[in-house]
Amino acid sequence: MPDAFAFATATEILFGRGQADLAPARVAALGRRVLLVHGRNPSRSAPLAGALRALGCEVTAFAVPSEPDMARVASGLTMAAGSQVVVAMGGGAVIDAGKAIAALVPATRPMLDHLEVVGQGLPLDHPPLPFVAIPTTAGTGAEVTRNAVIGVPDHARKVSLRDARMLPRLAIVDPGLTDGCPRAVTLASGLDALTQVIEPFVCTRANPLTDALCRDAIPRGLAAIARLMQAEDAGARDEMAWVSLCGGLALANAGLGAVHGLAGPLGGLTGA
């Protein structure tokens, strides 16, 4: 008989090639005033922005060109004034930034009050705005986690804003969005995805459901990243998107380990 455990994730997950085509209608159903968070290159999210506008939505775009820090999130909060829904389309940094903005728009306390380690780590005092995550890399699994990692330069740390209600309303994982991703980004994010199915598997809070996800994902991820080291491979892209999703599901419900324990302070000190 397994020990008692709990498992929480995004309200809905859409996985598979072509699922991103459903995003405009699904986002518009959540609100007509949309904050669209994207990465350095706005062209990746331009078709989504155009489709939302065609559906009658008012779209405000906000760029996150690097790992989000408190100043970047604060700028996003200013841009998000009046928004009804937040969508993040990009890598893990973009999704974390969007998740933090969605969480903090309704909040009445200062951001620092809600940050772990350097702040008070208080729960949110109001529910977040509806949040939709659309990853374009296969790495962090942030589309199904309940925290956002934010840099705090004054403390030389990366810390989490965390609340169970930060789980996205909708996660759309379309492996086709990762096709053609630069090799360096593919391999770096792929190693992150692999780490995030290994750490929850060996951590002290693993449960039968996270173990099942990780046990399947580890060998599949190792095989897929080896294929992507050699050449572009749509099938391997599909596999890595699945592994990344499994990592997010597992870490959100079992936790991580020493690798990520060290990553916070080292990332804060080096900016990596």
In the chain, how many H helices and how many E strands? 9, 8
- How far is it, in rounded angstroms, from Cα 176 to Cα 181? 10
Nearest Cα residue to 95 out of 171, 175, 12: 171
CA distances from 102 to 48, 73, 132, 204, 208 (A): 19, 10, 10, 31, 32
- What was the pLDDT predicted at 264? 66
Amino acid code (one letter) for 249:
L
CATH 3.40.50.970 assigned to 13-178: no
- What was the pLDDT predicted at 272? 64
Q: Where are the domains of the chain?
A: 13-178, 183-270
| Per-residue pLDDT tens digits for 82-137 | 999 999 999 999 999 999 999 999 999 999 999 999 999 999 999 999 999 999 99
The contacts of residue 197 (CB under 8 Å, 6+ apart) are 213, 214, 217, 218, 221, 243, 246, 247, 250
- How far is it, in rounded angstroms, from Cα 127 to Cα 106? 7
The answer to whether the predicted template modeling score (pTM) of the entire model surpasses 0.85 is: yes
DSSP secondary structure string, 105-165? SS--S-HHHHBTTTS--PPPSSPPPPEEEEESSSS--GGG-SEEEEEEGGGTEEEEEE-GG
- What was the pLDDT predicted at 6? 93
The third-level CATH classification (topology) of the domain covering 183-270 is Dehydroquinate synthase-like, alpha domain (1.20.1090)
- How far is it, in rounded angstroms, from Cα 54 to Cα 24? 9
- What was the pLDDT predicted at 1? 66
Radius of gyration of the chain (CA): 18
Q: Which residue has the tokens 């599909």?
A: 238
